[in-house]
Amino acid sequence: MALDAFDQAPAGVLVTRGPDHRLTYANDAVRTMFGDLPIGTPVRDGLGQGTLAVLDEVRKTGKTVRLDEVPVTVDRSAGPHERLLRMSLSGIALQGGESGLLAVVQEVTAQVVAPERIRGMEKELRRLQSRYQSMLWVDAHMVWVTGPHGEAREVSQGWQRLTGQTVEESRGHGWLRVLHPEDRVPAEESWDKATEEAVSLYEQIYRVRTCDGAYRHIRFRAVPVHEDGALVEWVGASTDVEQEWQEERRRRLLDRAAAAATDITNLEEMCQALADVIVPELADSCHIYLLPESSSSLPHAPIVTERVAAAVRPGLSALPPRRKDYHPVDSGFVRAVRRRRPVHASFPPGRPPFPCADLVAKWLAETRSHSLAILPLVVEGEVAAVVTTSICADRPPTAPDDIRLMREMLDHTHDAVSKALRFRRTQKVALALQHSLLAEPPGVPGLELAARYQASPTAAEIGGDWYDAFLLSCGAVKLVIGDVAGHDLSAAVCMSQVRNMLRALAVDRDESPGDVLRRLNSALETLNGESTATCVLTRLERDGDGLWQLAYSVAGHPPPLLVTGDGKGRFLQDAGNPLLGLNHDQPWISAVEPLPPHSTLLLYTDGLIERRGEDLGDGLERLRLCAEPLAREPLGRFCDELLTGMPVTGEDDVAMIALRVPPAGCYEGVAS
């Protein structure tokens, strides 16, 4: 097929094989000189014995020989007549390893060949030989010749059959018109770069529009042809690699999807990574929705979903950030959920054949989307999530192969998504449990109370932090802050058990905070020997003079901070004890501290002060310096300013509870 490139060469070109020099190829110029020459015909007829001897010698030795004036008898319709030919003969290697002969022929019957024309003929011979060898080396399906910057000069019939372009339509840069619009500029730039860098092989893959209007991936390979050290043209070929490209893309996308599921544990981040794999490779947009539990089993009912991931190709507007979407009962979305099978539809731009969520319908119209694919993800027998994709503008509709690939991607990520989904549901249960235990502090006459809880913005799990405040029948006030080891549902459950046991023990007997923690520690060892926790337990009551005093005990927890009304802060560190949950045979220590008028007591968890790799003392000092200027601020603002002013890492939750003693003479009637 490579010989097609010589069809329109200005000089006659013929190729023979075998000892009797049977014709293998003749271009248009040869047929003009000699008429229709059947392939396989010996070319001995009409040549003199001397010329035949030269042909035999060239075939045997492979040397190049030029014959200046070769008489040939040509039998045409007007009768036989002689012509004078100039011939350049060269041995070549044919496919299959057989030796052959390449002849470049020019008629010189009516003219004297000038020296310049001889040199031009020799250059043409060298170029044709180079083309032939290059095309044998490239070994491809469609052959072509371009100028130094990709301007087509000659194309074979293979290119015409593939694209439907005529020879004239493909000349110059006309062949670029059948490339995908996104590939045209890169193609021009790649030719210029290849010429500038003098590469020995040009190789690129572009999308080419075929006769039926579809695009296929075609590999372009070419080698340069030089004359006198200068690049004069590229000789190359093109091969259809659509199947190879599709398989490579499939492997690459499946690997990316698997990596997204393997490297990420947070469900929202996992879904976003999956959407980013799909866009723009397979679609112009991708949105992933989570369904409420058991919603897929409700017949003939609309579905309200949570949109957890969205990706759109550059240049497209995104859906509004509202995360809840209402899908009508007759929508394609609900149909896919009920049937548990993908729904695919192509339609006029912006006009889907079924109802959609209101914001989605508006977005489809704005982006002129014309193709939708809706794929449900089934986890443990229920549709847990739905992936929707759309195609916009001039891009072809989603192909069935692409839908199968997306289903395969979901199958590859099923186990990881299922695990993350179960964890997310467990996390919601733990969070609800934790928040149910973090009640508002009670109203205490003569004291002001405030509490805050800030969940970690980055932690994927629920912590065991808690605070508590309650009144005893004797009028004393108990304040508690604590943290159970762990970040999962079991930690939240353990936290609720510790909180409730501590409440029961604190009201059971009238004893010091240290004795209460001692009994709590014994209970933990007996009932839950593997759990540990930290805690600060305080008891506030008035002395004989009507002033408030604090009795406290600390079990492995950061110490309470006391800030006086004039802005002097210090940590209360006279009642330290080990972690709860450890065997401790020594007495548990309590301490008593008077609370001056207008002083503030702060109990907090370690998320407020700890930084990875930093000494705990640095965090405590940072807290003291941040709290002292806030001594005269309202107690609620005091807490809020600490949360915003402390440079927390966000790796852990933060819980705090604060108490403010009123100024002297204002002890009565202060609400919390």
Tens of pLDDT, residues 356-376: 998 899 999 999 999 999 999
- Region class of 18: left (phi > 0), else alpha (psi between -120 and 50), else beta: left
What single DSSP character describes residue 2? G
Q: Which residue has the tokens 């977005």?
A: 363
Name the band, by pLDDT with cuts 50, 70 and 90, for residue 322: low
Q: What is the pLDDT of residue 460?
A: 47
Which pTM does this prediction carry? 0.54
Q: What is the pLDDT of residue 487?
A: 67
Residue 121 has pLDDT above 80, yes or no: no
What CA–CA distance (Å, rounded) separates 181 from 480? 68
Name the band, by pLDDT with cuts 50, 70 and 90, for residue 285: very high
Q: What is the pLDDT of residue 116?
A: 55
Q: What is the pLDDT of residue 174?
A: 95
State which of 57-61, 322-326, 399-403 shows the largest mean pLDDT.
399-403
Q: What is the pLDDT of residue 467?
A: 93
User: Beta-carbon neighbour count of residue 160 at 10 Å?
Assistant: 16
Residue 426 has pLDDT above 90, yes or no: no
Beta-carbon contacts of 163 under 8 Å, excluding residues fewer than 6 positions away, are: 170, 175, 178, 208, 209, 210, 211
Q: Is the dihedral of CA 463, 496, 471, 574 positive or negative?
A: negative
**Average pLDDT score over the chain:** 86
Distances (CA, A) of 633 to 449, 466, 548, 621, 625: 13, 24, 20, 20, 15
Q: Which residues share a beta bridge with 146?
A: 152, 234
Residue 420 has pLDDT above 50, yes or no: yes
Q: Which residues share a beta bridge with 285?
A: 312, 390
Q: What are phi and psi of 383, to 5 degrees?
A: -75, 110
Q: What is the pLDDT of residue 427?
A: 67
| Ranges 56-70, 90-104, 433-447, 467-481: which has the least confidence | 433-447
Identity of the amino acid at 16:
T
Name the band, by pLDDT with cuts 50, 70 and 90, for residue 633: very high
What CA–CA distance (Å, rounded) separates 295 from 145? 63
β strands within 500-644, DSSP E? 533-542, 548-555, 561-563, 569-571, 576-577, 591-594, 600-604
Q: What is the pLDDT of residues 250-278, one digit of tens each?
A: 999 999 988 888 777 788 888 999 999 99
Residue 241 has pLDDT above 60, yes or no: yes
**What is the token pair recorded at 533?**
């926790």
Nearest Cα to Cα of residue 313 among 291, 335, 281: 281
Q: What is the pLDDT of residue 48?
A: 67
Nearest Cα to Cα of residue 228 among 370, 141, 127, 129: 127
Higher pLDDT, 204 or 461: 204
Q: What is the pLDDT of residues 606-623, one digit of tens each?
A: 999 998 888 999 999 999
- Burial letters 28-53, b for 16+ CB under 10 A, else e: ebbeebbeeeeeeeebeeebeeebee
| CB of 350 closer than 8 Å to CB of 364 | yes
Q: What is the pLDDT of residues 514-571, one digit of tens each?
A: 999 999 999 988 877 678 999 999 999 998 888 999 999 999 999 999 999 999 999 9
pLDDT-above-90 percentage for the chain: 47
- Burial letters 116-137, b for 16+ CB under 10 A, else e: eeeeebeebbbbbbbbbebbee
What CA–CA distance (Å, rounded) separates 161 from 155? 11
Q: What is the pLDDT of residue 437?
A: 64
Nearest Cα to Cα of residue 587 among 571, 596, 599, 575: 575
What CA–CA distance (Å, rounded) separates 84 from 76? 15
Cα-to-chain-centroid distance, residue 394? 23
Residue 210 has pLDDT above 80, yes or no: yes
Q: What are phi and psi of 532, to 5 degrees?
A: -130, 155
Q: What is the pLDDT of residue 666?
A: 52
State which of 135-149, 464-478, 545-559 shows the largest mean pLDDT.
545-559
Name the band, by pLDDT with cuts 50, 70 and 90, for residue 602: very high
Name the band, by pLDDT with cuts 50, 70 and 90, for residue 319: confident
Q: What is the pLDDT of residue 648?
A: 78
Q: What is the pLDDT of residue 356?
A: 93
User: Beta-carbon neighbour count of residue 314 at 10 Å?
Assistant: 7
**Secondary structure (3-state) at 615:** coil
User: What mean pLDDT is predicted for residues 308-336?
Assistant: 89
What CA–CA distance (Å, rounded) separates 554 from 593? 13
Q: What is the pLDDT of residue 2?
A: 67
Following DSSP, what letter does each residue of 335-400 receive, concatenated?
A: HHHHHTS-EEEE-STT--SS---HHHHHHHHHHTEEEEEEEEEEETTEEEEEEEEEEETTSPPPPH
Residue 668 has pLDDT above 80, yes or no: no
User: Beta-carbon neighbour count of residue 546 at 10 Å?
Assistant: 9
Nearest Cα to Cα of residue 483 among 469, 468, 470: 468
User: What mean pLDDT is predicted for residues 336-342?
Assistant: 92
Q: What is the pLDDT of residue 667?
A: 45
Q: What is the pLDDT of residues 162-203, one digit of tens each?
A: 999 998 999 999 999 999 998 999 999 999 999 999 999 999
| CB of 157 closer than 8 Å to CB of 170 | no
